Chain A
């Protein structure tokens, strides 16, 4: 009984370590094969269009509403302390430091990450990846690498769009609807937002999130068993693991970047 329990725990631990090792080896192989993309930039551009462009609408709409809500909530709180002119600063800091990178990453995981996992998983189920291997074309280089880099490039760009549109949403509510002074809104923002400390750190976060989500999505699809149940399970795992990873990375990065 005890022996069986120990064997099962040991076997599970060994499988887990093996799968972590395999995922890092696949990542290293993909990074090693990535320079090949320079010879065929068309593959990357295609994926940028599919992964980045098709995520734009949900990012812009979400950014607008998040900015509007931030404008409303921010105004109610700041007004209590007679600091409603700082609304622009609050909206901008909230978006560039935290909400922009984190919400964009979560939306990206739901919109593009799931689609990447399902696509790769179904390609595997349809023997398309095996066919590619038999045609002497490495699927890691031909299929995974362009999607990975497209994700890594897209997430920071989408984050910038999210934050920019969010600020516009905050402006529409704060200045347009509530009547906060327009000059104060923009000048407080200009004076209080630091390019390196706030915008650049937000950019770094978005790059790290982009790497994590895209690789998790690709790996889940690549490792899925070629069955409908496992492809669907892999899609779910992409969202769950990516979301938890985003929160964990956000905490770690925030602690590193903004601690005195």
Chain B
């Protein structure tokens, strides 16, 4: 898999296909059993802890469930990476935090605690926090999950605009075909830890690959079974053919 600089690359696939694992490998949270992950010509799993932390300063990651610090306010959550990694004066941090929160539409929620906002709002705050340091590589794990249609459209545009403004690389892990195809330059489809298809969103829309066709057009019949593999319902209910 390649994630070129300045591009938005979507990684799509069903539940358990390995999308989040790709992000965790890139972030160095887990090591690959085979092969290697290279970021800026550095093999991630071979880096020392110090070098890994230096590399992570250039990354931003939006977690699937937000992962906001519950003891801090919305404002303090977004200010957290700025305070940890910069010596900026508090006035400047305040301005930067408010700009980021304004971008996700939550400037006026700055004083609230994560427990006082909805799940969708928490994800938007987490989004603001992940871009606080204007990272070179931004990874979004399901950024559209739980968002209302208005927030979803705004967030999709924000991801694209931010990528273009910073010239950074965006990896977008998502189930949401419409929003992802709208902003992605390239798409990878995963199934059971393997790449099953890849190409531009336009290619994928007209693809005849059974996996892509089933996923893009949300079809129930196809190579991806809805049911977890195992015995059939008839077998479990004892309705099989009698001997």
Does A pair with B? yes
Chain A positions within 8 Å of B, measured between CB atoms, are 123, 126-128, 130-131, 133-138, 142
Query: Contact partner of A128 among B61, B70, B84, CB < 8 A?
Result: B70
Answer whether A138 and B65 are a contact pair too, CB < 8 Å, given A126-B70, A130-B29: no
Is B29 touching A135 in the complex (CB atoms < 8 A)?
no
Bound-state CA distance A126–B71 (Å) is 12
Is B67 touching A131 in the complex (CB atoms < 8 A)?
yes
Q: Could you list 20 further interchain pairs (A-B, Cβ under 8 angstroms) beyond the known A127-B65, A134-B61?
A: A126-B70, A127-B64, A128-B67, A128-B68, A128-B70, A130-B67, A131-B61, A131-B67, A131-B68, A131-B69, A133-B27, A133-B29, A134-B59, A135-B80, A135-B85, A136-B53, A136-B84, A136-B85, A137-B84, A138-B49
Is B63 touching A138 in the complex (CB atoms < 8 A)?
no
Bound-state CA distance A135–B52 (Å) is 11
Is A136 touching B56 in the complex (CB atoms < 8 A)?
yes
Bound-state CA distance A114–B59 (Å) is 34
Chain B residues, Cβ within 8 Å of A130: 29, 63, 67
Chain A residues, Cβ within 8 Å of B117: none
Shortest Cβ distance from residue A31 to the other chain B in the assembled complex, whole angstroms: 16
Bound-state CA distance A133–B125 (Å) is 18
Bound-state CA distance A35–B223 (Å) is 56
Query: Contact partner of A136 among B54, B63, B69, CB < 8 A?
Result: B54
Chain B residues, Cβ within 8 Å of A134: 27, 29, 56, 59, 61, 63
Is B63 touching A127 in the complex (CB atoms < 8 A)?
yes
Number of B residues contacting the other chain (C-beta, 8 Å)?
21
| B33-81, CB < 8 A from A | 49, 53-54, 56-57, 59, 61, 63-65, 67-70, 80-81
Is B65 touching A135 in the complex (CB atoms < 8 A)?
no
Q: Which of A123, A127, A135 gathers most chain B CB within 10 Å? A: A135
Bound-state CA distance A142–B71 (Å) is 14
Bound-state CA distance A99–B2 (Å) is 65
| B79-103, CB < 8 A from A | 80-81, 84-85
Bound-state CA distance A126–B119 (Å) is 13
Shortest Cβ distance from residue B151 to the other chain A in the assembled complex, whole angstroms: 21
Query: Contact partner of B53 among A123, A128, A131, A138, CB < 8 A?
Result: A138
A46 nearest in chain B by CB position: B71
Is B29 touching A126 in the complex (CB atoms < 8 A)?
no
Shortest Cβ distance from residue A117 to the other chain B in the assembled complex, whole angstroms: 16
Shortest Cβ distance from residue A116 to the other chain B in the assembled complex, whole angstroms: 13
Bound-state CA distance A142–B27 (Å) is 19
Please name 17 pairs of A and B residues whose Cβ atoms are closer than 8 Å in the assembled complex, sorted by A. Answer: A126-B65, A126-B67, A127-B63, A127-B65, A130-B29, A131-B61, A131-B63, A133-B29, A134-B27, A135-B81, A135-B84, A135-B85, A136-B53, A136-B54, A136-B57, A137-B81, A137-B84
Shortest Cβ distance from residue A48 to the other chain B in the assembled complex, whole angstroms: 16
Shortest Cβ distance from residue A55 to the other chain B in the assembled complex, whole angstroms: 18
Is B70 touching A135 in the complex (CB atoms < 8 A)?
no
Binary per-residue interface labels of chain B (154-173) against chain A in the complex, 1 for a CB within 8 Å, 0 otherwise: 00000000000000000000
Chain A residues, Cβ within 8 Å of B63: 127, 130-131, 134
Chain B residues, Cβ within 8 Å of A142: 84
Bound-state CA distance A123–B69 (Å) is 8
Shortest Cβ distance from residue A135 to the other chain B in the assembled complex, whole angstroms: 5
B57 nearest in chain A by CB position: A136
A129 nearest in chain B by CB position: B67
B64 nearest in chain A by CB position: A127
Shortest Cβ distance from residue A124 to the other chain B in the assembled complex, whole angstroms: 10
Chain B residues, Cβ within 8 Å of A127: 63-65, 67
Shortest Cβ distance from residue B124 to the other chain A in the assembled complex, whole angstroms: 15
Bound-state CA distance A130–B53 (Å) is 13
Chain B residues, Cβ within 8 Å of A135: 56, 80-81, 84-85
Chain A residues, Cβ within 8 Å of B80: 135, 137
Shortest Cβ distance from residue B63 to the other chain A in the assembled complex, whole angstroms: 5
Bound-state CA distance A128–B70 (Å) is 9
Shortest Cβ distance from residue A185 to the other chain B in the assembled complex, whole angstroms: 46
Bound-state CA distance A221–B63 (Å) is 21
Bound-state CA distance A131–B65 (Å) is 11
Bound-state CA distance A128–B71 (Å) is 11
Bound-state CA distance A230–B81 (Å) is 30
